Amino acid sequence: MIRKRTRTRAGGGTPAHGRLRAVLGATTTALLTVTALAALPQTTAHAAGTLGAAAAEKGRYFGAAVAANHLGEAQYAATLNREFSSVTPENEMKWDAVEPNRGSFSFSRADQIVNHARSQGMDVRGHTLVWHSQLPGWVSGLGASDLRSAMNNHITQVMTHYKGEIHSWDVVNEAFQDGGSGARRSSPFQDKLGNGFIEEAFRTARATDPAAKLCYNDYNTDGVNAKSNAVYDMVKDFKSRGVPIDCVGFQSHFNPNSPVPSDYRANLQRFADLGVDVQITELDIEGSGQAQATNYGNVVRACLAVTRCTGITVWGIPDKYSWRSSGTPLLFDDNYNKKPAYDAALSALGGTTDPDDPDDPGTPGAGCTATYTTAEQWGSGYNGKVTITAGSSPITGWSVDVTMTSPQKVLSVWNGSPTWDNSGNVMTVRPSWNGSLAAGASTSFGFTVSGGASPPPQVGACTAS
């Protein structure tokens, strides 16, 4: 059995690294004595240096999905502990993991995550109680009345085990169909119990742990569309009839085919206006470099713009452990280096990277600048030139992302060494021979583009090393 602890407010549990600064910036300030404040005045002078601490200063949590089998990896645990203030077990609380056979519960792997989180002062999101996927075969085989009692028993047993430990539960996950129908998804619960299974699950959940926030969680509901409209109508109906629901989770799995919608913030806001909290629950954005960073910054800013957006969870820590690792959708690369997306998320939260941290590649633009000019242009292409200038310190390397608009293609690059992202539109250029620059000194690289004389490329910030 896991150790019981006093609940902390979601967002109030912060990793050790940023805890003091986070507390000073949060609404709990009043709890600190005058002596404590006087003893630590300098802590407020710096912007927070981690995602969890920066989010806490905005009254929010910043979480990650965690897999129990990675906790033994030193860099994984160190990154988790340093950066995040909330965790979601990626698979360990799902039905097949905790109740593989009827009435026989196994919590050891989920307990491992919860114990780790609580020992670090982090909050925990519970994921998930009722979902059509990762459902053991015995559940699908039950008749209606047996299924109803199995569902209610599952909710009761799992929530009781973690009572007081979970800030928010995904009570029901992904119950709506994709596409334009707005219909419920076929599942053993839907097919045998009908629409009412969702409300029954929420009522059972409320009766079991009245202090936990109860969420409905789904994907492809991030913008205004037929699916999110259907969820919206359900939440509105629940609120009008007093069915207990506290929050809606927006998974936010984005890629080039499913980009961050332009009405993302507006969609979060319309749900918040129904009287529920909103949470970004499984964020990942495929891509790389500045384009990915811009998307992450936009998502963070959308949450901050909605008062009732209480926190953000990214769906994994390093790219290599993502459920879609080939799309490199996360904030840390395979070696746990912070990516430009990390810097963008942190800076959108009002934090800033610590220039004294030797592990930190730095905020884009901190040690060098990149400026673009079109050197020559003709009917169907152009030569572009990017000038790199070191800041007030010498540098030994630099990198810059250059994004072309399809169908433009880069034919050749000189005085720089390019690598390409999966889309083929973004090249990251590093030095070929010209990495070392004295303070204030410049170099440049050039490239030829075919497939259109305009628009000019988007040139990201320069990252120095």
**Helix 226-241 / helix 264-272 crossing angle, nearest 10 deg:** 10
The reply on whether position 323 binds ligand G2I by CB under 6 A is yes
CA 118 → CA 29, 67, 86, distances in Å? 22, 15, 9
For residue 376, indicate whether it is catalytic: no
Annotated catalytic residue, options 90, 165, 174, 286:
174
Nearer to ligand G2I, 91 or 258 (CB): 91
Size, binding site for ligand G2I by CB under 6 A:
8
Phi, psi torsion values for 13, nearest 5 degrees: -85, 120
What minimum distance in Å lies between the beta carbon of 76 and ligand G2I?
15
What minimum distance in Å lies between the beta carbon of 91 and ligand G2I?
4
The reply on whether position 251 binds ligand G2I by CB under 6 A is yes
Q: CB atoms < 10 A from the CB of 72, how many?
A: 9
CA 309 → CA 83, 266, 409, distances in Å? 19, 12, 40
The reply on whether position 134 binds ligand G2I by CB under 6 A is yes
Nearer to ligand G2I, 90 or 319 (CB): 90
CA dihedral 60, 298, 342, 252 (to 10 degrees): 70
List residues bridging with 309 in a β-sheet: 278
What minimum distance in Å lies between the beta carbon of 112 and ligand G2I?
14
- State the Cα–Cα distance between residues 148 and 151, nearest whole angstrom: 5
Nearer to ligand G2I, 90 or 343 (CB): 90
State whether residue 244 is helix, strand or coil: coil
For residue 282, indicate whether it is catalytic: yes
The reply on whether position 325 binds ligand G2I by CB under 6 A is no
Tokens of 172: 């029901």
Give the number of C-alpha atoms closer than 13 A to the C-alpha of residue 367, restricted to the C-beta side: 22
- State the Cα–Cα distance between residues 446 and 385, nearest whole angstrom: 4
The reply on whether position 458 binds ligand G2I by CB under 6 A is no
Q: CB atoms < 10 A from the CB of 180, how many?
A: 11
Nearer to ligand G2I, 29 or 134 (CB): 134
The reply on whether position 282 binds ligand G2I by CB under 6 A is yes
List residues bridging with 101 in a β-sheet: 104
Residue nearest to ligand G2I (CB): 323
- The one-letter code for the residue type at 212 is A
Nearer to ligand G2I, 319 or 343 (CB): 319
* Closest of 217, 222, 224 to residue 198, by C-alpha: 217
The reply on whether position 336 binds ligand G2I by CB under 6 A is no
What minimum distance in Å lies between the beta carbon of 282 and ligand G2I?
5
Please list, in sequence order, all residues whose beta carbon lies within 8 angstroms of the beta carbon of residue 341, skipping any fewer than 6 positions away: 285, 292, 293, 295, 296, 330, 331
Nearer to ligand G2I, 131 or 296 (CB): 131
What minimum distance in Å lies between the beta carbon of 69 and ligand G2I?
8
- Write the binding mask 195 to 234 for ligand G2I: x where contact by CB under 6 A, - elsewhere: ------------------------x---------------
What minimum distance in Å lies between the beta carbon of 219 and ligand G2I?
6
- State the Cα–Cα distance between residues 314 and 61, nearest whole angstrom: 11
The reply on whether position 156 binds ligand G2I by CB under 6 A is no
Q: Which of 90, 200, 222, 277 binds ligand G2I (CB under 6 A)?
A: 90
Q: Which residues are catalytic?
A: 174, 282
- Site for ligand G2I, rule CB under 6 A: 90-91, 133-134, 219, 251, 282, 323
